[in-house]
Chain A
Amino acid sequence: MPSTAVGLIGKKIGMTHVFDESGNSVPVTVIQAGPCPVVQVKTEENDGYTAIQVGHESIAKHKVNKPENGHFKKAGVQPTRRLAEFRISSTDGFDVGSELTVAQFQAGDAINVQGRPIGKGFMGVTKRHHFARGAMSHGSKSHRLPGSIGAGTTPSRVYKGQKMAGRKPNRVSTVKNLQVVSVDTERNLILVKGATPGSNGTVLRITPTGKVMK
């Protein structure tokens, strides 16, 4: 879904808490986002879709390969560690070489945050799906077992989607409608209420929702 606003790429710094005006303790995740230079503007005519390509984390020229260097040179920006695209309905007002910063966000905005969560490996049903465990004693051998996975002759198969043990997929997860608590334009920080995916240092993709929370 193309949106009207371009987001940012950031890094999770960690969690702490701050106090709001009425003295409540607010749990926050600190995200260092941007400044993200616009590396390429993708247009309908050229690329078949409209998007803004941004870079994140400037690095030395010799750390990127030749073709990539040419890509950055064309845009006239310092090479970056990673590139990301944001689909957008109109590319008006976005110039190659300009920088996107956290200044576009304000306290109270609702944002979506995407990132790879902490991997937990192969998990049993107790941990993976929060099944209740059986008795640990009194002769019980059903400690952390899944129990029945369905009826017998009818339907004589296991239904799709049956919750079982397995690996936690290495998949991007999105947390929607997180509230921006405050923005520090000087240090390129966004304080977001609540938790975001991943451990500290995880690369996060922040997109504005255009909504304002209270």
Chain B
Amino acid sequence: MSQQLLREITQPFMKSDLPEMTSGDTVAVHAKIVEGGKERIQIFEGVVLKVQGAGVAKTVTVRKVFQGVGVERTFLIHSPRVARFEVKRRGKVRRARIYYFRQRRGKSARIREIQQTKKA
């Protein structure tokens, strides 16, 4: 009953047009950034390390390597500050949380892509 109420309250804040994302996927996050009173969109592209939480509190942690430095950002996926998510690549991993990916460099930091089988 009470959990139902909480769901109803957060419903208006949730986005309905989000793509499905899981760990291993490569996504481009279009984040809104306010700079000097102006708003612009910054794209943060990387590998999803984990998807955490449920409902309005759901977050994705995205990792990329920028100028040789690993950068991780966690986004509240329902936040109005995130314009949209673009799934670039579906990766094949065996874990829900691929923390081991942080230790990988170069050739080993690759994730096999899930091959979409087209329906005949």
Q: Which residue of A lies closest to B82 (CB)?
A: A23
Interface of B is mostly: helix
| Contact indicator A30/B79 (Cβ below 8 Å) | no
Cα–Cα distance between A67 and B14 once the two chains are bound (Å): 50
Chain B residues with CB under 8 Å of A16's CB are 6, 9-10, 55-57
| Contact indicator B56/A17 (Cβ below 8 Å) | yes
Kindly provide the distance from the CB of A204 to the nearest chain B CB, expressed in whole angstroms.
Answer: 14
Q: List chain B positions with a Cβ less than 8 A from chain A.
A: 2-3, 5-6, 8-10, 13, 32, 55-57, 76, 78-81
Q: List chain A positions with a Cβ less than 8 A from chain B.
A: 13-14, 16-19, 23, 25, 30, 32, 184, 187, 189, 191, 200-201
Kindly provide the distance from the CB of B37 to the nearest chain A CB, expressed in whole angstroms.
Answer: 13
Instruction: Tell me whether A25 and B55 are in contact in the complex, defined as CB-CB below 8 angstroms, given that A13-B5, A16-B9 are known contacts.
Output: no
Kindly provide the distance from the CB of B88 to the nearest chain A CB, expressed in whole angstroms.
Answer: 25
A–B complex contacts, Cβ < 8 Å, 14 sampled: A16-B6, A16-B9, A16-B10, A16-B56, A17-B56, A18-B9, A18-B56, A19-B13, A23-B32, A23-B81, A25-B79, A187-B5, A200-B2, A201-B2
Instruction: Tell me whether A25 and B76 are in contact in the complex, defined as CB-CB below 8 angstroms, given that A17-B56, A17-B57, A19-B13 are known contacts.
Output: yes
Kindly provide the distance from the CB of A189 to the nearest chain B CB, expressed in whole angstroms.
Answer: 7
Kindly provide the distance from the CB of A68 to the nearest chain B CB, expressed in whole angstroms.
Answer: 26
| Contact indicator B9/A189 (Cβ below 8 Å) | yes
Cα–Cα distance between A200 and B3 once the two chains are bound (Å): 10
Kindly provide the distance from the CB of A32 to the nearest chain B CB, expressed in whole angstroms.
Answer: 7
| Contact indicator A30/B80 (Cβ below 8 Å) | no
